[in-house]
Amino acid sequence: MSETTTVTTSPVRQQAATPSAAPQSASGGSAVQLKSSLHGLDFAAQSAMLAPRDPAPGSAVQNKAVQLKTASSGGALQAAQEKLNQLGFDCGTPDGVMGAKTRAAITAFQTSKGLEADGVCGDATLAALDAAAGGGDASQVSPPPGGTVAPGSTQSGGGSGGNPTTDAAQDATSTTPTEKATTETTTTETTPTATDEQGAGAKPAYLSQRDNDSQYGSGDVQCSPTSFAMQLINVYKGDAEGVKTRARAILDERGEKSDYDQVEDLLIEILQTTNWKTATAEKPSFFWDAKNWATWAANQYKGIYYKDPNAQQYVASLFDGVTNTKSNTYSARYTFKDWAPVIDALSKGAAVTGEGAFTDAGHVVSIIAADASGITINDPYGLYVESGYYLRNGEKPRSNLEASGMTVLKRRAALRSDVLPAYEKIEALPNWGESNVYTWTEVAKVQIGKWLSVLGGA
């Protein structure tokens, strides 16, 4: 999963899938939400961020703030909020309103750029934001550094893995499976139809993270690079061997381990052995802050670079046939309307991955189709039904679903003929997560689109 919660005999068992309430900070935002903004600041800067001061009535500072508010209803301030989110200074949902969280984010950004930390988005701050975010359309942005932080989690990046649920969480919501699972109610909602556009005639790639063999950790925490591997295979029109050949050539040039059999393990090796200071200098357009990204990532990921979508897009650029010359990512897109540019890219053959709040720490999946009715994904961990219930690749169903859960399962499996029989017979499938369907209501609920990474489709 992007890299998140747990299960049965998996080697890594992490936090439960039900998010806990995030502790509140003095400024009104949660401590988790403010974590990325506080990262790297000294005590004085953190204090200024957590206790932003209001400008004196009638002052020039207050007048600037009022002018910006007046001009920003869906305009200047909203664009600034989107750019702050892009750069990792969390404003929450961009809404054009100057709340405490937005002011704290502005203050933190100003401090990071050596500007007057007054919490006001004046001309100098706007210019610095524009430069840091690369200018242009603020709606098309890199994800917040390393991705987003799910509620109740202190982890960021492309999620933390793929242990999406604990035994306790699953057992608490369901009963012991019987020979025949109860099946009731069918959904009346339409479901998106998977197409072959992502593979230009080839079936979209499906890989399970649960059998990864990398030296850099368990597959159950490797959803992001596994989804990236599916994405790259789709760019290669289903030619997994072609991806392997190029990946091995890159590793051989570096003198690194290249005898892995699976695409995802080879890509993890490339991501882990890249000199990121050199990479950011050579191709700065792939990074949200090329000058500081390598230092930030070393601290943020503690050496586990394979989670980051910007790092993945850089590595993709080393492969033949990848047309991206800069990072092409979007953040906080949860509706059909929000997804319009991504759907357009898919229609032109793009390969897409995205993070959702399937688990506390987030989880990354491959997006293989999208239309007005919803999206179809390839989930490398398994089939997500509801909080606390995952059908994990390679395992039998562990408990019965209630009627509402069966309705969801039938919808998820609308494009599969083998899922419901396997569930009813309590059989294991190696690919529960392949071609899973989500309506737009579910996309918004699970927040699929916390970030979206697009390769090709220009």
For the CA atoms of 157, 163, 166, 170, the dihedral, rounded to the nearest 10 degrees, stands at 110
- Asked whether residue 217 falls in the same domain as residue 342, the answer is yes
Find the helix or strand (DSSP H, E) in which 69 lies.
Answer: helix 60-71
Cβ–Cβ < 8 Å for 279, 318: no
- Asked whether residue 247 falls in the same domain as residue 307, the answer is yes
Looking at 105, 132, 159, which one is the last position of a domain? Answer: 132
- Asked whether residue 112 falls in the same domain as residue 178, the answer is no
- Asked whether residue 387 falls in the same domain as residue 316, the answer is yes
**Is 13 within the bounds of a domain?**
no
- Asked whether residue 336 falls in the same domain as residue 214, the answer is yes
Looking at 132, 158, 189, which one is the last position of a domain? Answer: 132
- Asked whether residue 107 falls in the same domain as residue 223, the answer is no
Q: 193-225 as b/e, with b when 16 or more CB fall inside 10 Å? A: ebeebbbeeeebbbbbbbebebebbbbbbbbbb
Residue 42's pLDDT is what?
A: 45
Domain, as residue range, for 51: 31-132
- Asked whether residue 186 falls in the same domain as residue 273, the answer is yes
- Asked whether residue 279 falls in the same domain as residue 417, the answer is yes
User: Which are the contacts of 114, defined by CB distance < 8 A and separation ≥ 6?
Assistant: none
Residue 24's pLDDT is what?
A: 39
DSSP string, 234-289: HHTTT-HHHHHHHHHHHHHHHT-----SSHHHHHHHHHHH--HHHHHHH-GGGSTT
Residue 133's pLDDT is what?
A: 64
**Is 103 within the bounds of a domain?**
yes
- Asked whether residue 66 falls in the same domain as residue 204, the answer is no
- Asked whether residue 194 falls in the same domain as residue 278, the answer is yes
**Is 79 within the bounds of a domain?**
yes
Q: How many domains does the chain have?
A: 2
Residue 131's pLDDT is what?
A: 74
Alpha-carbon dihedral sign for residues 228, 226, 361, 270: negative
Q: Report H helices in 95-222.
A: 100-112, 123-132, 167-173
Write down the residue that tokens 């990071």 correspond to: 112
Looking at 116, 132, 148, which one is the last position of a domain? Answer: 132
**Is 157 within the bounds of a domain?**
no
**Is 220 within the bounds of a domain?**
yes
**Is 11 within the bounds of a domain?**
no
Nearest-CA neighbor of 270 among 322, 228, 208?
228
CA distance 351 to 30: 34
Cβ–Cβ < 8 Å for 400, 174: yes
**Is 289 within the bounds of a domain?**
yes
Residue 74's pLDDT is what?
A: 57
Residue 248's pLDDT is what?
A: 96
Residue 134's pLDDT is what?
A: 54
Per-residue pLDDT tens listing for the chain (458 residues): 444 333 333 333 233 333 333 333 333 444 334 334 434 444 344 434 434 344 444 444 444 443 343 334 457 888 888 888 767 677 778 888 888 888 878 887 787 677 888 888 888 888 888 777 653 332 333 344 333 322 222 233 445 444 443 333 333 334 334 433 333 333 334 444 444 333 345 789 999 999 998 888 777 889 999 999 999 999 999 999 999 999 999 999 999 999 999 999 999 999 999 999 999 999 999 998 899 999 999 888 888 889 899 999 999 999 988 988 998 999 999 999 999 999 999 999 999 999 999 988 889 999 999 999 999 999 999 999 988 899 999 999 988 899 999 999 999 999 999 999 999 999 999 999 999 999 999 999 999 999 999 998 65
- Asked whether residue 384 falls in the same domain as residue 317, the answer is yes
**Is 151 within the bounds of a domain?**
no
- Asked whether residue 56 falls in the same domain as residue 181, the answer is no
